[in-house]
Amino acid sequence: MEFMPFVPAKAEWRPFVYDLLRSTHVQNAIQSRATGTTSSRQRVQPSSITQLDVLIPPPKRIEQFAEWVGPMYKRRWLNMRQSRTLAEIRDTLLPRLISGEIRVPEAEEAVEEAL
Kindly report, residue by residue over 7-52, the tens digit of the pLDDT. Answer: 888 999 999 999 999 999 999 998 888 887 666 677 888 888 888 8
CB 51 within 8 A of CB 65: no
User: Looking at residue 58, what is its pLDDT?
Assistant: 95
Residue 79 has pLDDT above 90, yes or no: yes
Q: Regarding predicted confidence, which is higher, 39 or 68?
A: 68
Kindly report, residue by residue over 81-112, the tens digit of the pLDDT. Answer: 999 999 999 999 899 888 988 888 887 888 78
Residue 1 has pLDDT above 60, yes or no: no
